[in-house]
Structure 1
Amino acid sequence: MQLDIIIPVLMSCALLWWVGRAMTWTARLTVAVVTLVLIACVLLFERTGR
């Protein structure tokens, strides 16, 4: 895997842990999935824009 994929995933996991301490497990999973989808969309947009 490349760093442009690993770094955003690690940062989003850290942010989810910090924010999600008071959240239920289903809310945490939902936020994690939405975050990963947004990261994937941004990466796809960047790669096609070049």
Structure 2
Amino acid sequence: MDPLHLETLVPVVLGCAILWLVGRGLRWIAWLGACAITLLVIFGVLQVAHGGF
């Protein structure tokens, strides 16, 4: 799979997942945790895609 395709696809999918979780009525602590995990996963995928690891 093309790395540029992953750069676009992964953040969009994870962003949609976060919006879905927030829409389900998570408490604010759980929402912050989900956002932090999402950002870490996005960062990790981008690092792998660019050969940073």
TM-score scaled by structure 1?
A: 0.63
Higher helix fraction (1 or 2)? 1
Q: In 1, Cα distance between the equivalents of 2:10 and 2:48?
A: 15
C-alpha RMSD of matched pairs (Å): 2.3
Q: Comparing both chains, which one has the higher relative contact order based on Cα–Cα distances under 8 Å and sequence gaps of 6 or more?
A: 2
| Unaligned segments of structure 1, at least 5 residues | none
| Unaligned segments of structure 2, at least 5 residues | 1-6
TM-score scaled by structure 2?
A: 0.61
Output one character per residue of 1:1-50: Cα deviation in whole Å (capped at 9) or x when no partner.
Answer: xxx3x76445433321222232101100100110110110110011017x
Count, aligned residues: 47
